[in-house]
């Protein structure tokens, strides 16, 4: 409690003075016992304008409302003065707002790369750009999001396809084994999108009208939006390479060639000594699912260990030309 703050004993003095103003004579200490008033309390009450002098050493209690009005009068003058200064500053600076905004628009138009801080910024920018798309959308996704994320994306995709935009997307083979992902693929196909899957997709990309390219950047789901024709064109070449080596989705589930793609990729990873965690991350599956694939391959080649699996694969020339499984081919 600060020295200037009213205390319980001050309130008690104020109450006594309301009932008997003459008791204030006791502030001098001259009256008899039981009538003494604390000089400190009287001083604090005077400072709060709750007492007024009514002769030497005589004090009368003042209405708290009047005391508050007197205490705040000077403050209200200052507040009004500050409010006028605020209004003046806003009025003087208001004409500069459009100039700054126009400068920012020109600056953004001249910049070929726009960094988006997080997933929310990416979603908002994509929603804005989707309204402007006229010709084509190309997307590649190494992994798929949750059910709510897929449903939100489908709303944007539906609008694009209803407007006649050519829509091609490549998803991982493993999407064929995930219920929500497979439902998403079917919805896209029903709406008119062209959907393919590949065993490995090196990175996420979204290409719009050959004018914009969005790729992941930083942490927190952020991204980089490119407008430079050279960069966008290069990413389109990568997409076309992925598309050419991907397999169309006809119906549901895994076809024999899809199984073969995944199994050969696993074998090539094994040949290079990759860990289960690395392989499962690259394939977009859990380590448990990966081990089921390994068990199936061992059974197919009639072997018991990974070493025997590698020997059998080499003997049967299953590694082919030995392409790196991390490549887009």
Task: Write the pLDDT tens digit of every residue in 146-205.
Answer: 777 777 788 888 899 999 999 999 988 877 777 777 888 888 888 999 999 998 888 899
What pLDDT score does 23 carry?
52
Extended beta strands in the chain, E state: 51-53, 59-61, 113-116, 136-140, 166-172, 194-198, 205-208, 212-216, 223-226, 247-248
Q: What is the DSSP letter of 207?
A: E
What pLDDT score does 309 carry?
83
What pLDDT score does 239 carry?
96
pLDDT (average), residues 207-234: 91
> Is the pLDDT confidence value at 273 over 70?
yes
Considering the domain boundaries, does residue 242 fall inside one? yes
Q: What is the DSSP letter of 267?
A: H
Whether residue 267 is found in the same domain as residue 166: no
Instruction: Report the percent of the chain where pLDDT is more than 70.
Output: 86
Q: What is the pTM of this model?
A: 0.57
Whether residue 196 is found in the same domain as residue 273: no
Query: pLDDT tier at 233 (50, 70, 90 boundaries)?
Result: very high
Query: pLDDT tier at 236 (50, 70, 90 boundaries)?
Result: very high
| CATH classification of the domain holding 296 | 1.10.10.10
**Most confidently predicted of 67-71, 179-183, 222-226, 275-279:** 222-226
Whether residue 276 is found in the same domain as residue 227: no
Considering the domain boundaries, does residue 290 fall inside one? yes
Whether residue 218 is found in the same domain as residue 270: no
pLDDT (average), residues 119-126: 88
Q: How far is 216 from 125, CA to CA, in rounded Å? A: 13
Whether residue 229 is found in the same domain as residue 264: no
Considering the domain boundaries, does residue 117 fall inside one? yes
Q: How far is 305 from 294, CA to CA, in rounded Å? A: 10
> Is the pLDDT confidence value at 238 over 70?
yes
What pLDDT score does 252 carry?
52
> Is the pLDDT confidence value at 33 over 50?
no
Query: pLDDT tier at 262 (50, 70, 90 boundaries)?
Result: confident
What pLDDT score does 305 carry?
85
pLDDT (average), residues 63-77: 87
What pLDDT score does 323 carry?
52
Q: What is the domain count for the chain? A: 3
What pLDDT score does 324 carry?
53
Whether residue 221 is found in the same domain as residue 242: yes
Sheet holding 223-226, edge to edge: 113-116, 223-226, 212-216, 205-208, 136-140, 166-172, 194-198, 247-248
Domain that holds residue 214: 111-248
Considering the domain boundaries, does residue 98 fall inside one? no
Considering the domain boundaries, does residue 201 fall inside one? yes
Whether residue 276 is found in the same domain as residue 155: no
> Is the pLDDT confidence value at 282 over 90?
no
CB 269 within 8 A of CB 200: no
* Residue 308 structure tokens: 């025997």
Whether residue 57 is found in the same domain as residue 25: yes
| CATH classification of the domain holding 163 | 3.30.870.10
What pLDDT score does 226 carry?
94
Whether residue 131 is found in the same domain as residue 213: yes
**Most confidently predicted of 92-101, 234-243, 287-296:** 234-243
């Amino acid at each position: 409690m600060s020295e200037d703050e009213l205390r319980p004993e001050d309130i008690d003095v104020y109450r006594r003075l309301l009932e008997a103003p003459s008791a204030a004579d006791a502030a001098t200490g001259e009256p008899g016992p039981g009538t003494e008033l604390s000089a400190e309390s009287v001083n604090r009450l005077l400072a709060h304008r709750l007492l007024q002098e009514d002769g030497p050493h005589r004090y009368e209690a003042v209405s708290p409302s009047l005391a508050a009005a007197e205490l705040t009068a000077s403050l209200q003058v200052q507040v009004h003065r500050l409010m006028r200064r605020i209004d003046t500053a806003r009025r003087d600076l208001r004409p500069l707002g459009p100039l700054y905004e126009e400068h920012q628009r020109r600056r953004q138009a001249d910049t070929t790369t726009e960094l988006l801080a997080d997933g929310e910024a990416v979603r908002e920018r994509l929603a804005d750009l989707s309204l402007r798309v006229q010709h084509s959308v190309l997307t590649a996704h190494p992994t798929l999001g949750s059910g709510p994320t897929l449903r939100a994306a489908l709303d944007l995709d539906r609008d694009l396809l209803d407007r006649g935009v050519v829509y091609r997307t490549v998803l991982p083979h493993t999407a064929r084994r995930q219920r929500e992902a497979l439902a998403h693929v079917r919805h896209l196909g029903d709406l008119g999108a062209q959907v393919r899957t590949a065993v490995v997709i090196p990175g996420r990309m979204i290409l719009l009208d050959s004018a914009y390219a969005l790729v992941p950047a930083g942490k927190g789901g952020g991204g980089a939006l490119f407008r430079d024709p050279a960069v966008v064109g290069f990413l389109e070449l990568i997409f076309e390479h992925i598309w050419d080596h991907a397999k169309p989705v006809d119906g549901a589930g895994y076809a024999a060639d899809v199984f073969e793609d995944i199994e050969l990729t696993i074998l090539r990873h094994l040949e290079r000594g990759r860990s289960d965690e690395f392989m499962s991350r690259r394939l977009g599956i859990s380590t448990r699912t990966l081990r089921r694939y390994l068990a199936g391959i061992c059974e197919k080649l009639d072997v018991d260990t990974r070493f025997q699996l590698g020997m059998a694969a080499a003997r049967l020339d299953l590694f082919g030309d030995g392409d790196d499984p991390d490549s887009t081919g």
